[in-house]
Structures are given as structure tokens and as C-alpha cells.
């Protein structure tokens, strides 16, 4: 049964963005289970807990209080337990510096939050259906930032 | 200079030695010839004396003979007087001759022979006049005696004449020797003296030249010293020497001034100097001075001094050891007043810190612009899009119109934020210049604009570019903005054509290049067939937020060309625009060839 779901997790401190995110997945015709956390600390606490369901794709906002997305990324990449989680950076900005840093730390894709709900749905459904195994192998700095 | 002088000194020394030698030779020769001449004249006198004595003997004999004859004729014993006195006179003469001829064996033998002959003759006299009273002159014995006497007398005369002749020959020979000696000596002396004179002249000449050169050098040194004094004052440094062995210092005038004192106003010793050194630096400096005495290579020494009026000055000293002519180690040092440098350095540091703060503020502003401003805008847009999607048809026509307007305003705000970000990015400090293939950058720019180029069927032609050292992403941005601009401001109903050319030009031939820093530039022109503009706005279009058209007609923020200007300025280049309304515009970019 569990195999039929794609487990999606989002860490974002912005309530509106969490709302857009969950609404978008509600409307997408893919069976997903979406979990959201209000910041990096809540996220890491959950992931490190014993009965945690590890997500297939983890969306990380960068600018969060207490623990930023970049810090979460570093922690996750250091722990072999999380090696199968695909990580999508999900941020308002797409500065060169942020893209560079997250790429170097091993994130799988960088999404600049769209300003249109239709686009959002399109982007999210695209990302969760990517064959990550294949994508990771062919990943380079040029296709790291998702263009839409 | 020093080398020629030392060469000259060795030349002078050689000249002196040669001159001294010549004088010694002259002296020796003179002494020798004087001795020779004396000896010659003595020999001549000697010969004369011998001759005179011999003549004397002969004459005495003749007197005796005459006396004897007189006696024989007159029988008067008065006539015998010369004979008696002649005997002793002859003896005297012989004694004299004996002394004169003691070194001449041949003469001696001849004289002995003569002497015996004379003795025989005298004996013959005696016999002849003794026999006289017994007989008369016809007595055959007497005649025989007389004849014998005569023969003896002839033999004596011959002998003496022979000796005199020999002596005369000798005299002749000696005289000629004497004469040649007298002739040769002055010639030799004269030529030697001439040599000396020539040498003296050469030496004098050389000394004179040296003195002249030394004088000129001295003058140069004097000037150099004066200019050194001046340069010490102007550049605020002083010099000193320290003789390690003798523990002696000398300070230049300006070193005293660096301490706030009159030149040479106190004895230059380390103790006196230390009274001016800042109390906190005394220990350090004393230690360094000790090291200075031992080390050959010395590092810079930094310390402070306190003037009597309380001013604190920062000094920097450097010393180098050399060995002087007396084989003593001497430190040559320079001390500079670096107070101004330190003050300006501090000011510079403060300004740098301020600039850094400003930069940080600017980048935090960038972050605000890129993130914090975008976030609420994005939400407005997202909510708007959801509102339109979900509530479509439920709103009144007016409501729909308002939503449309809100959407337009939000889109425009996003454009502004994006362009501002772009502009501030072109300001960024970390610009890396690389040798770049400009053709590839142009291709990449076309790629960025692919959508709009194909939508408008724009035709872009270009020359082949050489590699140029540029900031690659900025030049790509420049191409994107200029081509994008040309397409945006196209003529209605005309296919936009953009021609990009490249050539290398000399700065002085280009009126657009003002106060060039380089002699040659890459000139890149972008010529389009768009709507153009009135040339009076040629400068204005590069000003931030300035627009020539209403934003209803052409979307735009008025930032694009400002970014172009910024990028070209980052490359120390120039950008100009010229236009003709309804015909088109030409943008010209100059990039320096470093």
C-alpha cells in the first residue's frame, strides 16, 4: 500500500507558501502524502525521530528562522540514512550565490517559487515525477536550476 | 673615476721611482767622471814631473860636464863646483824619481840603468880630472877616459831621451783619454737630465690633470651633498653612520630636524639619541641597535620619537654595514619620518572599513530587493492567479477590469525588481576579467533572446570578433540588452535588422573617446532599422529610469541601457548612441586594448 504514495515533505516558515504547496498537491492528480514543517528545526527533529517516514522528495525553503534550508541540507547529506531522499531547493530568490552553495552541498534541483498558481502546479507535478536516479546521474550546474 | 685615479697614482709612483733612479745614476756617473778626470790630471802631472826630473838630471850632468871641461882647461877648482853640487842634485832628483816611479817597474828599471850609467860617468869624471894633474891632456889615458866619458854621456842622453820619449807617448795617450772622458761625460749627463726633465713634465701633466679632475669631482660632490641635504628635508629622512669599532656616530643635519632639534645641536651618541625615543620603544630600539652592531643584514626598524614640544613622530630606519679603508666596520643608515604615511594609512584603513560597511549595506539591500520584496509580490500574484482561476465569471465586469489592472501593476513591479537586481549585479566587486571568445558570448546572448528573435523574425548579422579580455557574463548581458532593445523598438511592419560590426581603432581618431587611457580600442557598433530617436536625447537614454516613450507603448523600466553603460564603464570603455527618428539607431561600444 505504502508504495502507491509519493511521500512529499516541505519545510517552509511562510504560512501562505505552505498553503499554496498543499493546495497545489491537492489539485494535482498524483497520489501524494504531503507533510509540512514550519522551520528547519522541526524538520530535522522529525527526520531524526525513530518512527519517521522518510520522504521521497524533500522541498527546502532556504530562508527560515532557527535553522536555514542550507543547514538542513548539510545535515541531511552528512547522514547516510537520508541518502535516498531527493532534495529540491524551493526559494523565492535565485541568487547566484544560493544556487552555487546548494549545488555544491548536493541538492538535486533548485526551484524558484513561481508567481502563478498554474505554473506552481505544473512545476511541482514535474518535480515529483522525475526519475531521480536518472536525473541525479545527468545532473550538472546548468540544469540544476529548474526553468519554467 | 676611482679606478683612473688609482691607475694614475701607480703611474706617478713609477715616474717617481724612475726619476729617483735616474738621479742616482747621474750622481754616480758624475762622481765617477770627476774621479776619472782627477786621476787623468794626476797622471799627466806625474808624467810631467818625471820628465822634468829627468831633464833636470840631464841638465845637471851637462853642467857637471861643462864644469869638468872648464876645470880641465883652467885647472881652476871653481869649475868643479857644478860637478860637486850636480852630484847631490842628481841624487835628489833620483830620490824624487824613485818616489814618482815606485809603481812603474819598466821606468824603474830604465832609471836604474840610467843611474848606473850616471854613476859610471861620474866615476869617469873623477878619474879624468884626478889623472889630470899627473899628466897633461895629451895623455892617452886621459884622452881615453875623456872619450869613454863622452860615450857614457851619449848613452845617458840616449837613455833619458828614450825615457822622455816613452813618457811623452804615455802623456799623449793619457791626454787623449782625458779629453774623451771630458767630452763624453757632459753628453751623458745632459741626456740623462733631459730624460729626467721629460719624466718630470709627464708627471706634472698627470698630476695637473688629476687635480683638475679631482676638483671637478669635488664640485660634483659638493653639489651632490647639497642636493642630498635638500632631498633629506623634502623627503623627511636623515642619514647617519656608526663606526662599530670606535663607537662613533655621525648624524646628518636633517636627522636632528627629525628629532625636532637644530642641526648638530648635540653630540651624536646613542645615549643622547635615546632621550628622544618614545619610552615604550626604548627597550626595543636598544635591543635592535645591539643586533645592528652584530648583524650584517638588518631589517627595518620602526620606533617613535617624542619632540620636546610633545609631538610624536614615527620613524623607520635601515642600516647597512660596510668596511672602510681602515678595515673598520661602519654602518650606513637612513632614518625616515613616516608619520604622514602612517596617518594616511590609518585614514585609508578607516575609509576602507567604511566602504566595506557600505558595501555590506548595499548587498543586504540587494538581498532585500531580491528576496524580501519579491516574496510579498509573488504572493500577490499567486493569489491573483488563484482568484482569476477560481472566481472567474463570479465577478462583475468592473471587478475583472480591476483585477486585470492589479495584475499589470504587479507584473511591472516584478520587472522593476528584476532589472534593479540586474543593475546592482553589474556593480558587484568580484569582476573577473578573462580572455573571452566574443563570438561565443554573442551566440549565448542570441540564445537568451531566442524566443523574441524568432517571434519577430529579427535578422542579426555580425563580424567575426577577436578574443577580448572582458568580464564574460557582463558582455553577454550587454549584447542581450542592446539586441533586445533594438528588437523592442522596431518599426511597425518592418523586419528588425541588426548589424554588429567590429574594428580596431586608434583613440585619437575617435571623437567619442574622451580622455582615453589607452591608445587603441575595439569599436563595436550595433546598427538597427528601428524607430530611432532624436539625437538630443543621445546622452539621456543612458540615465537610470529615463525613458523616451510612454510605458503604455513600450514596456520597459529605463534600466537596461543604464546597465549597458555600467558594464562598459566596468571595462574602462565608452558607449555612445546616435539616432535618426523613423530610420534607426546606432549604439557604439569602445573596449580598450590593454
- Mark whether B75 and B201 lie in a shared domain: yes
Does residue B397 fall inside a structural domain? no
Q: Please give the full DSSP string across B510-545, using - where no structure is assigned.
A: -TT--S-SSSEEEEEEEEE-S----GGGTTGGGSTT
User: Which pLDDT score, from 0 to 100, does residue B373 have?
Assistant: 82
- Mark whether B180 and B49 lie in a shared domain: yes
B371 contact A CB<8A: yes
Does residue B420 fall inside a structural domain? no
User: How far is residue B566 from each of residues B428, B538, B543, measured CA to CA in Å?
Assistant: 11, 16, 10
Contacts of B88 (CB under 8 A, 6+ apart): none
Q: Please give the full DSSP string across B319-344, using - where no structure is assigned.
A: EEEEE-TTS-EEEEEEEEE-HHHHHH
* Strand locations in chain A (E): 6-11, 32-37, 57-60, 86-91, 109-112
> In chain A, what residues touch B375 (CB-CB under 8 Å)?
14, 92
The residues facing B459 across adjacent strands are: B497
Chain A residue nearest residue B418, CA to CA: A93
Q: A113 CA to chain B: closest CA distance, Å?
A: 8
> What is the distance between the alpha carbons of residues A140 and A108, in angstroms, rounded to a whole number?
10
> What is the distance between the alpha carbons of residues B82 and B104, in angstroms, rounded to a whole number?
31
Chain B (386-425) residues lying within 8 Å, Cβ to Cβ, of chain A: 386, 389, 410, 414
pLDDT exceeds 50 at position A63? yes
- Mark whether B442 and B564 lie in a shared domain: yes
Domain that holds residue A84: 2-144
Q: Are B323 and B309 in contact (CB under 8 A)?
A: no
Residue holding cell 534607426?
B584
Does residue B47 fall inside a structural domain? yes
Please count the structural domains in chain B.
4
Q: What is the CATH number of the domain that holds B277?
A: 3.30.450.20
For B251-270, what is the HEC assignment? ECHHHHHHCCCCCCCCCCCH
> In chain A, what residues touch B371 (CB-CB under 8 Å)?
63, 92-93
Closest CA to B381 of A58, A119, A68: A119
For chain B, give the number of residues.
594
- Mark whether B23 and B172 lie in a shared domain: yes
- Mark whether B252 and B319 lie in a shared domain: yes
User: Which pLDDT score, from 0 to 100, does residue B314 have?
Assistant: 93
DSSP count for chain A of H helices, then E strands = 7, 5
> In chain A, what residues touch B389 (CB-CB under 8 Å)?
117-118
Closest CA to B300 of B292, B308, B290: B292
User: How far is residue B389 from each of residues B43, B375, B379, B524, measured CA to CA in Å?
Assistant: 160, 21, 15, 48
Calculate mean pLDDT across residues A55-78: 90
Domain boundary among B372, B389, B416: B372
Closest CA to B254 of B232, B275, B269, B280: B232
Please count the structural domains in chain A.
1
> In chain A, what residues touch B410 (CB-CB under 8 Å)?
115
The residues facing A8 across adjacent strands are: A34, A57
Q: A92 CA to chain B: closest CA distance, Å?
A: 6
Nearest Cβ partner for A113 among B370, B378, B414: B378
User: Which pLDDT score, from 0 to 100, does residue B1 have?
Assistant: 46
What's this model's pTM, rounded to 2 decimal places? 0.50
- Give the largest CA-CA distance in chain B: 220
> What is the distance between the alpha carbons of residues A5 and A34, in angstroms, rounded to a whole number?
10
- Mark whether B161 and B261 lie in a shared domain: no
Does residue B405 fall inside a structural domain? no
Provide Rg for chain A, Cα atoms: 14
Helix (H) or strand (E) run with residue B460 in it:
strand B459-462
User: Which pLDDT score, from 0 to 100, does residue A29 have?
Assistant: 84
- Mark whether B452 and B567 lie in a shared domain: yes
Q: Are A94 and A110 in contact (CB under 8 A)?
A: yes
User: Which pLDDT score, from 0 to 100, does residue A1 have?
Assistant: 41
B437 contact A CB<8A: no
Domain that holds residue B252: 236-337
- Mark whether B166 and B116 lie in a shared domain: yes
Closest CA to A93 of B366, B424, B409: B366
B320 contact A CB<8A: no
> What is the distance between the alpha carbons of residues B535 and B271, in angstroms, rounded to a whole number?
77
- Mark whether B281 and B323 lie in a shared domain: yes
Q: Is B379 close to A116, i.e. CB distance below 8 A?
A: no
Does residue B387 fall inside a structural domain? no
User: Which pLDDT score, from 0 to 100, does residue B180 have?
Assistant: 76
- Rounded to two decimals, the ipTM of the complex is 0.83
CA B472 to chain centre: 50
Q: Is B370 close to A93, i.e. CB distance below 8 A?
A: yes
DSSP 8-state secondary structure symbol assigned to residue A131: -
Task: Please list the rounded mean pLDDT of every run of 10 residues in chain B (594 residues).
Answer: 62 80 82 80 80 82 79 77 77 80 77 81 73 63 76 82 81 77 76 83 86 92 91 89 86 90 88 90 86 74 90 89 82 90 92 88 73 85 90 85 88 83 70 87 90 90 91 89 91 90 89 85 93 86 77 75 89 91 91 88
Q: What is the CATH number of the domain that holds A38?
A: 3.40.50.2300
- Mark whether B164 and B251 lie in a shared domain: no
Nearest Cβ partner for A95 among B370, B389, B414: B370
Q: Is A92 close to B379, i.e. CB distance below 8 A?
A: no
Q: Is B370 close to A113, i.e. CB distance below 8 A?
A: no
The residues facing B333 across adjacent strands are: B240, B319
User: How far is residue B337 from each of residues B88, B280, B311, B334, measured CA to CA in Å?
Assistant: 115, 18, 13, 10
Does residue B416 fall inside a structural domain? no
pLDDT exceeds 90 at position A9? yes
- Give me the long-range contacts of A73-77 (CB less than 8 A, separation at least 24): A73/A102, A73/A105, A73/A106, A73/A107, A74/A105, A75/A44, A76/A47, A77/A105, A77/A106
- Mark whether B171 and B67 lie in a shared domain: yes
User: How far is residue B557 from each of residues B410, B488, B545, measured CA to CA in Å?
Assistant: 13, 13, 6
Closest CA to A30 of A55, A5, A47: A5
Q: Are A89 and A111 in contact (CB under 8 A)?
A: yes
Burial (0-12, 13-18, 19+ Cβ within 10 Å), B419: buried
Q: Is B385 close to A118, i.e. CB distance below 8 A?
A: yes
User: Which pLDDT score, from 0 to 100, does residue A2 have?
Assistant: 47
Q: A4 CA to chain B: closest CA distance, Å?
A: 29
Amino acid at each position: 500500500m505504502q508504495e502507491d504514495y509519493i511521500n512529499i515533505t516541505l519545510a517552509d516558515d511562510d504560512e501562505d507558501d505552505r498553503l499554496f504547496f498543499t493546495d497545489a498537491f491537492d489539485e494535482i492528480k498524483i497520489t501524494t502524502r504531503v507533510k509540512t514543517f514550519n522551520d528547519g528545526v522541526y524538520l530535522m527533529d522529525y527526520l531524526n525521530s525513530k518512527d519517521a517516514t522518510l520522504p521521497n522528495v524533500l522541498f527546502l525553503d532556504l530562508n527560515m528562522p532557527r535553522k536555514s534550508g542550507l543547514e538542513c541540507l548539510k545535515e541531511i547529506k552528512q547522514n547516510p540514512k537520508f541518502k535516498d531522499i531527493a532534495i529540491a531547493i524551493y526559494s523565492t530568490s535565485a541568487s547566484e550565490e544560493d544556487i552555487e552553495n546548494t549545488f555544491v552541498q548536493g541538492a538535486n534541483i533548485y526551484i524558484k517559487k513561481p508567481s502563478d498558481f498554474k505554473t506552481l502546479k505544473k512545476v511541482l507535478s514535474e518535480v515529483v515525477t522525475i526519475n531521480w536516479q536518472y536525473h541525479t546521474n545527468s545532473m550538472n550546474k546548468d540544469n540544476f536550476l529548474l526553468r519554467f | 673615476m676611482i679606478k683612473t685615479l688609482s691607475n694614475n697614482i701607480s703611474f706617478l709612483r713609477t715616474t717617481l721611482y724612475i726619476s729617483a733612479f735616474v738621479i742616482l745614476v747621474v750622481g754616480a756617473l758624475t762622481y765617477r767622471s770627476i774621479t776619472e778626470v782627477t786621476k787623468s790630471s794626476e797622471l799627466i802631472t806625474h808624467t810631467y814631473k818625471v820628465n822634468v826630473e829627468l831633464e833636470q838630471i840631464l841638465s845637471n850632468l851637462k853642467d857637471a860636464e861643462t864644469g869638468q871641461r872648464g876645470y880641465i882647461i883652467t885647472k881652476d877648482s871653481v869649475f868643479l863646483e857644478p860637478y860637486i853640487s850636480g852630484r847631490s842634485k842628481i841624487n835628489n832628483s833620483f830620490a824624487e824619481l824613485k818616489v814618482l816611479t815606485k809603481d812603474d817597474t819598466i821606468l824603474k828599471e830604465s832609471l836604474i840603468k840610467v843611474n848606473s850609467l850616471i854613476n859610471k860617468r861620474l866615476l869617469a869624471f873623477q878619474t879624468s880630472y884626478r889623472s889630470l894633474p899627473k899628466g897633461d891632456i895629451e895623455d892617452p889615458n886621459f884622452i881615453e877616459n875623456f872619450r869613454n866619458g863622452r860615450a857614457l854621456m851619449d848613452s845617458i842622453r840616449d837613455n833619458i831621451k828614450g825615457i822622455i820619449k816613452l813618457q811623452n807617448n804615455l802623456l799623449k795617450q793619457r791626454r787623449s783619454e782625458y779629453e774623451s772622458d771630458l767630452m763624453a761625460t757632459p753628453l751623458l749627463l745632459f741626456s740623462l737630465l733631459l730624460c729626467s726633465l721629460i719624466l718630470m713634465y709627464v708627471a706634472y701633466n698627470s698630476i695637473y690633470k688629476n687635480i683638475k679632475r679631482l676638483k671637478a669631482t669635488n664640485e660634483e660632490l659638493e653639489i651632490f651633498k647639497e642636493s642630498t641635504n635638500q632631498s633629506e628635508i623634502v623627503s623627511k629622512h636623515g642619514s647617519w653612520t656608526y663606526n662599530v669599532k670606535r663607537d662613533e656616530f655621525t648624524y646628518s643635519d636633517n636627522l636632528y630636524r627629525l628629532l625636532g632639534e637644530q642641526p648638530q645641536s648635540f653630540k651624536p651618541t646613542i645615549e643622547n639619541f635615546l632621550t628622544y625615543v618614545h619610552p615604550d620603544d626604548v627597550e626595543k630600539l636598544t635591543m635592535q641597535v645591539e643586533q645592528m652592531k652584530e648583524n650584517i643584514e638588518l631589517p627595518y626598524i620602526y620606533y617613535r620619537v617624542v619632540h620636546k614640544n610633545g609631538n610624536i613622530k614615527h620613524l623607520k630606519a635601515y642600516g647597512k654595514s660596510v668596511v672602510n679603508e681602515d678595515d673598520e666596520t661602519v654602518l650606513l643608515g637612513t632614518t625616515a619620518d613616516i608619520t604622514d604615511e602612517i596617518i594616511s594609512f590609518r585614514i585609508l584603513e578607516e575609509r576602507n572599513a567604511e566602504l566595506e560597511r557600505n558595501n555590506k549595506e548595499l548587498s543586504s539591500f540587494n538581498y532585500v530587493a531580491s528576496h524580501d520584496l519579491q516574496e510579498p509580490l509573488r504572493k500577490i500574484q499567486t493569489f491573483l492567479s488563484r482568484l482569476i482561476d477560481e472566481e472567474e465569471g463570479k465577478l462583475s465586469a468592473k471587478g475583472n477590469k480591476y483585477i486585470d489592472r492589479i495584475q499589470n501593476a504587479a507584473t511591472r513591479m516584478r520587472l522593476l525588481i528584476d532589472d534593479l537586481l540586474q543593475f546592482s549585479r553589474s556593480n558587484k566587486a568580484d569582476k573577473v576579467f578573462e580572455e573571452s571568445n566574443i563570438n561565443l558570448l554573442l551566440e549565448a546572448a542570441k540564445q537568451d533572446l531566442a524566443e523574441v528573435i524568432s517571434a519577430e523574425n529579427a535578422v542579426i548579422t555580425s563580424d567575426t570578433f577577436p578574443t577580448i579580455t572582458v568580464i564574460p557574463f557582463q558582455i553577454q548581458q550587454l549584447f542581450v540588452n542592446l539586441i533586445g532593445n533594438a528588437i523592442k523598438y522596431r518599426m511597425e511592419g518592418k523586419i528588425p535588422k541588426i548589424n554588429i560590426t567590429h574594428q580596431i581603432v586608434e583613440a585619437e581618431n575617435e571623437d567619442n573617446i574622451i580622455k582615453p587611457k589607452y591608445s587603441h580600442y575595439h569599436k563595436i557598433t550595433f546598427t538597427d532599422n528601428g524607430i530611432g530617436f532624436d539625437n538630443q536625447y543621445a546622452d539621456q537614454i543612458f540615465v537610470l529610469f529615463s525613458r523616451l516613450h510612454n510605458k503604455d507603448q513600450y514596456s520597459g523600466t529605463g534600466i537596461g541601457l543604464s546597465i549597458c553603460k555600467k558594464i562598459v564603464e566596468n571595462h574602462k570603455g565608452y558607449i555612445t548612441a546616435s539616432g535618426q527618428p523613423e530610420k534607426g539607431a546606432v549604439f557604439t561600444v569602445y573596449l580598450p586594448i590593454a
